[in-house]
Amino acid sequence: MYKQFGISEELENLANEAEENLKDEFAKIDLACTKNSLKVLQAFQKHRIAEVHFGQTTGYGYDDIGRDTIEKVFADVLGAEDSLVRTQFISGTHAITVALFACLRPGDTMLSICGKPYDTLDSIIGIQENPSSLKAYKINYEQIDLVDNDFDIPAIVERVSKKDIKLIEIQRSRGYALRHSLSVEKMEKVIQEIRKVNQEVIIMVDNCYGEFVQEKEPTEIGADIMVGSLIKNLGGGLAPNGAYIAGRKDLVGLAAERLTSPGQGKEVGPTLGINKSILQGLYMAPHVVSSSLKTAIFTSYLLEKLGYQVQPRFNEKRADIVQTIEFGNEEKLIKYCQGIQSGSAIDSNSVPMPWDMPGYTDKVIMAAGAFTMGSSIELSCDAPIRSPYVAFQQGGLTYEYGKLGVLKAIQNIL
């Protein structure tokens, strides 16, 4: 069976060994999937989801019962007061931009407490000069780096106790930084310490890649607002685009008025037939996330066995669906990404190459044979072309497809 897919007998044997040794890890993932599935099902039943909610609106999108109910469902699932779930969001980065500009005003200061955020935020913050950045609007930026992959709580508490910080940003996933992702437990601890000295500061979490990985979300442990993409975890591979902002009702309202216009906010925004895909995607999301996690753990086990540095290791606790592999070699990094592409159902004949991608400072290679362009809940692998040449892999709509794609990628570097 594997031979006809170009997989050697030696690699097949290693894959069988991996699955035998990963049974306990897979069982933990299945348990979390069941708990998150229950959370979703209860929200669907509470709000009496029915076929009427699959309908669409056009034009202004007034009185869209499906859209309004979807936002109630998302709020319940995420443990938030309110949510904004819209196809008008182009990406997670767009939703983060909307949230930041909604919450911050000229003269305010934003503080990142986990080092520099993801590369695409450089132009938004003003780290990279841009006439439309927060910096251009006289909004200040500061950061406190992590220490040993954890929050520098003494430095954070000292800074926020001065009470001139308007918003704290936490990026749950690592982006292209060579650090660990941040668990709900670590975030809860730092939030509790912040609240001892500052009750007013807005705590915002970039939750991309993190939803349903654990049993709680940031808004359930004290975050005021959080943001995520629907072509990542919560879209379940079915939402064709969009993103969400969830949290305190007043902050979600500000974000809605930034996305649309003051005075209209959440009352407008046509759904154009996307409601069913969003609901069905959320319904499938716990299982899809569990498949992505199993794919990541399988990858981690195999690549470590083959001598590569991986993070997290196969038996470490995970905070997101991202798996990193350090190749230390540009050619192997590119060949691995090309192998992921060749193991995909879509565009398997394409050969990804590094290119100057908008929003990034280095050339980037992106492999994703995805049904939805750019969807990283589907098996995908990308990397900036810079030393130490680390691949960032995520996704896998089913474990079986994820496994096959990973085996193809490994075979490509052997």
Residues 171 and 138 in one domain: yes
Strand 243-247 to 109-112 pairing: unpaired
Flag the least confident range among 117-121, 194-198, 253-257, 391-395.
117-121
pLDDT over threshold 80, residue 157 = yes
Assign 358 a pLDDT band (cuts: 50, 70, 90).
Answer: confident
Determine the average pLDDT of the residues in 180-199: 98
Structural domain ending residue among the three candidates 238, 273, 308: 273
Q: Rounded distance, CA 375 to CA 381, Å?
A: 11
Residues 268 and 295 in one domain: no
Residues 11 and 123 in one domain: no
pLDDT tens-digit map of 270-287: 999 999 999 999 999 999
Give me the domain span that covers residue 14: 3-37+282-413
pLDDT tens-digit map of 384-413: 999 999 999 999 999 999 999 999 999 999
Q: Rounded distance, CA 357 to CA 208, Å?
A: 20
Residues 334 and 266 in one domain: no
pLDDT over threshold 90, residue 1 = no
Residue 361, pLDDT score: 80
pLDDT over threshold 80, residue 359 = no
User: Considering the entire predicted model, what is its pTM?
Assistant: 0.96
The answer to whether residue 43 is domain-embedded is no
pLDDT over threshold 80, residue 103 = yes
- Tell me the two tokens of residue 7: 């997989």
Residues 179 and 294 in one domain: no
Q: Which residues contact 98 (CB under 8 A, 6 or more apart)?
A: 89, 245, 255, 258, 259
Residues 158 and 234 in one domain: yes
pLDDT tens-digit map of 221-259: 999 999 999 999 999 999 999 999 999 999 999 999 999
Q: Rounded distance, CA 326 to CA 1, Å?
A: 30
